[in-house]
Chain A
Amino acid sequence: MFLKQLSEAVGVSGREAEVRDLIREEIKDDVDRIETDALGNLIAFKEGKPEQPTVLLAAHMDEIGLMITDITDDGLLKFKPIGGIDKRILVSKEVVVGPDQIPGVIGAKAIHLQESDERKKPLDYGELYIDIGTKEKEESEKLVELGMMATFATEFEQLGTATVKGKAFDDRVGCAALIELLQQEHQLSIIAAFTVQEEIGLRGASVVAYDLDPDLALVVEGTSASDVPDTKEAGYSTQLGAGPALTIQDSSLIPSQPVVNKLIEVADQNDIPYQFRKLTRAGTDAGALHLTKEGIRTAVISMPCRYIHSPASLLNLNDYQATVELLTKFCQDMEEGGLADEGVN
């Protein structure tokens, strides 16, 4: 499954090259043209019939990570978070540093040397560093530059029949779904935008649609699922295995009602399971996209992932398939004049 390569590729915000190259290579025979812009967004055009509408599909390539900010005399690498990371998940993990993916570990003082109170307090960035096995600063400087990014070294694997485990599912699952759409035949025009720097504030999405003129936009995301112990159902946000989640409102967007209603209609007609994202906090590229120029009708479809922004998240493959299915059927509905009342088509 191509999601494996996408998940294992490294692309912390601002350093998305590996993911970009991987996607470009994968889609090059399925699209009419591919462009990049000044920020590094990758935009693929798949032309349909002239009378047909144009749908913009967007997913972000970047992932959260760590930026190297200093090297100690002992050769250890100090870092700061890029994107939203709970610092409590960093200890005792394996990472890769820089484009050459130099292996390193984030350790902690041994439990034997701690006061019992220390265990109740999370380790802060001042006490955390990456150890790549070097003995002194000069040795590290030959391998690592300040500003290089590190991310988790996590293998993509299948657990059981329906679940996969990997890093960066937010939002490589969206990238994977977009690629599948590009590999299908359509009558409408699809523009697929693989954006950069979502995790540090929707930077790529803020510019990507400026030179495009889509009739509507769908952002395809990996979002948090909280159907885990000690969480009330109201706090679930989304639930694994219950189908793609539609956003009703988050901190960045109130989606276009006609588009959301159409997604619901298409899902119902085709017996595709779906759910609503119950969390109203956080945002996606849609927040920037829908405010581009005079505005773009925009909605968000998300795949529930447990433990996003951590070394290993879980995705239900049925949710992924249902998301691709919903996007496919939605495009077909558009081709048949779906949102004609709204001035689309």
Chain B
Amino acid sequence: METKEVLQDLSEATGVSGYEKELGQQVAQLFESYVDQIEFDKLGNLLAYKAGEGQQEYKVLLAAHLDEIGLMVTEVEEGGFLRFTTVGGVDQRTLVGQEVTVHGREELQGIIGAKPPHLQDEEEQKKSFEIEKMYIDLGLTEADVKDKIRVGDIISLQRNLLSLENDRVAGKALDDRAGVLLLLETVKELDKMTHQVDLYAVATVQEEVGVRGATTSTYGVVPDIGIAVDVCHGLMPGVNKDEAVELGAGPALSFGPHIHPQLVKKLKEVADEIELDYQFDASPSPRGTDAYAIQVTRSGIPTAVLSIPLRYMHTSVETISLNDIKRGARLLAQLLRELEGEFVEGLRCF
């Protein structure tokens, strides 16, 4: 399958935080032929293990999260309309007019509606619609809806992956399915090389609700190095240059207090060595990616973050450049190929 087709499958699949099981199985199939072992842990994290050839067992963990933001049914109202709340950080302004899939006893298509504009006074029209006042219309009778849907059912945004100009694509959940794809591409690259260290490519769950999958999977793996592979903000009008990086100019290496200085230096050296375009992304807070959990697991893990630039994060039209994924995978594969005991041990010496 072409990279874009794999991304299409991943983006259009559903995996709202806490409900990643089916998606995990789908991703496992993609990794299967390139790794030595696949396991799921108790939270549902997918761990794909690829053994290295080194005498000593140094382990590198790469983490990209499976889950996506979504919605959840809170009430089935008179007329069969659904009220809902959010799972993860959803901007309420992006919801009205959005098509959704409600995962009840059956999968049902619906539209998010709100009070019609002609019934709103001028003051109301100046404000954004509030999520408490929105509802989902399934076009079905109340009895039909009550038969198929119950409170707590998960709702995902509906969007097919869209090819734009150049190598850019737009879709939902590219945060962080693009990262999952980067992991897959890394494993494929690595399959053609020899490497000393053991690799654990982990597709984590529940990142969007507080990096919970990374917390347990890192504990289980006990890695010597952890790298979170996620998305970062792409430059666009209204966003400052120190908060975002350019789409299509290569993957971004985070710098900030929680990033291990030797590790990011090594990544930079490897990128320079293979003449790969990359950028830097300022990360003053440790929050925002699985690295938040990885860094402080057990007695501490040297951690880095590699990101794919992405515009319109947490909308249903997240936009990336495919080339940034491919370049990120080349960088990580080359890093894994070069890592050896002395460097890994050195990370603990300050």
Query: Do A and B originate from a single complex?
Result: yes
Name the residue on B nearest A164 (C-beta): B139
> Is A114 a contact partner of B91 (Cβ separation < 8 A)?
yes
> Is B126 a contact partner of A281 (Cβ separation < 8 A)?
no
Q: Across the interface, which residues of B come within 8 angstroms of A113, CB to CB?
A: 233, 239, 243-244
Name the residue on A nearest B97 (C-beta): A89
Contact A111-B314, Cβ < 8 Å, known A72-B237, A89-B97, A279-B118? yes
> Is B81 a contact partner of A108 (Cβ separation < 8 A)?
no
The binding surface of chain A is classed by DSSP as loop
Q: Across the interface, which residues of B come within 8 angstroms of A110, CB to CB?
A: 91, 233, 312-315
Q: Which of these, A132, A231, A314, contacts B164 with CB under 8 Å?
A: A132
For chain B, which range describes its interface: under 10, 10 to 19, 20 to 34, or 35 or more residues?
A: 35 or more
Q: Across the interface, which residues of B come within 8 angstroms of A165, CB to CB?
A: 99, 109, 111, 139
> Is A133 a contact partner of B166 (Cβ separation < 8 A)?
yes
Stretch among B50-58, B129-137, B250-258 lining the A interface: B129-137
Encoded as 1 (CB less than 8 Å from any B CB) or 0, chain A from 149 to 191 comes to 0000110010110111100000000000000000000000000
- A209 to B129 alpha-carbon distance, docked (Å): 41
> Is B170 a contact partner of A307 (Cβ separation < 8 A)?
no
> Is A107 a contact partner of B317 (Cβ separation < 8 A)?
yes
> Is B164 a contact partner of A131 (Cβ separation < 8 A)?
yes
Min distance, Cβ A53 to any Cβ of chain B, angstroms? 36
Within 8 A of A (CB), among B83-109: 83, 89-99, 108-109
Q: Across the interface, which residues of A come within 8 angstroms of B236, CB to CB?
A: 74, 76, 107, 109, 131
> Is B93 a contact partner of A119 (Cβ separation < 8 A)?
yes
> Is B109 a contact partner of A107 (Cβ separation < 8 A)?
no
> Is B115 a contact partner of A93 (Cβ separation < 8 A)?
no
> Is B116 a contact partner of A231 (Cβ separation < 8 A)?
yes
Residue A51 is within 8 A (CB to CB) of chain B in the complex: no
> Is A106 a contact partner of B314 (Cβ separation < 8 A)?
no
The binding surface of chain B is classed by DSSP as loop
Residue B288 is within 8 A (CB to CB) of chain A in the complex: yes
Name the residue on A nearest B288 (C-beta): A112
> Is B128 a contact partner of A132 (Cβ separation < 8 A)?
no
- A144 to B247 alpha-carbon distance, docked (Å): 21
> Is A134 a contact partner of B165 (Cβ separation < 8 A)?
yes
Q: Across the interface, which residues of A come within 8 angstroms of B170, CB to CB?
A: 94, 103, 105, 131, 133
Q: Across the interface, which residues of A come within 8 angstroms of B81, CB to CB?
A: 228-229
Within 8 A of B (CB), among A72-107: 72, 74, 76, 86, 88-89, 91-94, 102-107
Residue B144 is within 8 A (CB to CB) of chain A in the complex: yes
Residue B248 is within 8 A (CB to CB) of chain A in the complex: yes
> Is A159 a contact partner of B110 (Cβ separation < 8 A)?
yes
Q: Across the interface, which residues of A come within 8 angstroms of B165, CB to CB?
A: 102, 132-134, 139, 143
Min distance, Cβ A39 to any Cβ of chain B, angstroms? 28
> Is B164 a contact partner of A94 (Cβ separation < 8 A)?
no
Q: Which of these, A121, A157, A307, contacts B97 with CB under 8 Å?
A: A307
Q: Across the interface, which residues of A come within 8 angstroms of B139, CB to CB?
A: 159-160, 162-165, 314
- A16 to B125 alpha-carbon distance, docked (Å): 30
Encoded as 1 (CB less than 8 Å from any A CB) or 0, chain B from 132 to 162 comes to 0101011110001000000000000001001
Scoring A123, A154, A162, A228 by chain B CB atoms within 10 A of each residue's CB, the highest score goes to: A228
Q: Across the interface, which residues of A come within 8 angstroms of B127, CB to CB?
A: 120-122
Min distance, Cβ B125 to any Cβ of chain A, angstroms? 8
Q: Across the interface, which residues of B come within 8 angstroms of A111, CB to CB?
A: 89-91, 313-314
- A289 to B98 alpha-carbon distance, docked (Å): 36
Residue A235 is within 8 A (CB to CB) of chain B in the complex: yes
Residue A227 is within 8 A (CB to CB) of chain B in the complex: yes
Contact A228-B116, Cβ < 8 Å, known A89-B97, A165-B109? yes
Q: Which of these, B96, B140, B314, contacts A163 with CB under 8 Å?
A: B140
Residue A310 is within 8 A (CB to CB) of chain B in the complex: yes
Name the residue on A nearest B94 (C-beta): A92
Q: Across the interface, which residues of B come within 8 angstroms of A154, CB to CB?
A: 99
Residue A129 is within 8 A (CB to CB) of chain B in the complex: yes
Min distance, Cβ B170 to any Cβ of chain A, angstroms? 4
Min distance, Cβ B70 to any Cβ of chain A, angstroms? 14
Q: Across the interface, which residues of B come within 8 angstroms of A106, CB to CB?
A: 317
Residue B196 is within 8 A (CB to CB) of chain A in the complex: no
Q: Across the interface, which residues of A come within 8 angstroms of B8, CB to CB?
A: none
- A162 to B138 alpha-carbon distance, docked (Å): 11
- A165 to B137 alpha-carbon distance, docked (Å): 11
Q: Across the interface, which residues of B come within 8 angstroms of A314, CB to CB?
A: 111, 137, 139
Scoring A127, A224, A230, A279 by chain B CB atoms within 10 A of each residue's CB, the highest score goes to: A230
> Is A157 a contact partner of B109 (Cβ separation < 8 A)?
yes
Residues of B within 8 A of A (CB): 77-79, 81, 83, 89-99, 108-111, 113, 115-119, 125-129, 133, 135, 137-140, 144, 159, 162-166, 168, 170, 233, 236-239, 243-244, 248, 288, 311-317, 319
| Further 8 A-B residue pairs, CB within 8 A, beyond A109-B312, A131-B164, A312-B97 | A110-B91, A119-B128, A133-B166, A154-B99, A159-B140, A224-B116, A226-B118, A230-B115
Sampled A-B contacts (18; CB under 8 Å)? A74-B237, A86-B117, A93-B316, A94-B162, A94-B170, A103-B164, A108-B312, A109-B239, A111-B89, A131-B164, A133-B166, A159-B108, A164-B139, A226-B119, A228-B115, A229-B77, A310-B96, A312-B99
User: A-B pairs with the 6 shortest C-beta distances?
Assistant: A133-B164, A107-B312, A163-B139, A133-B168, A133-B165, A105-B317
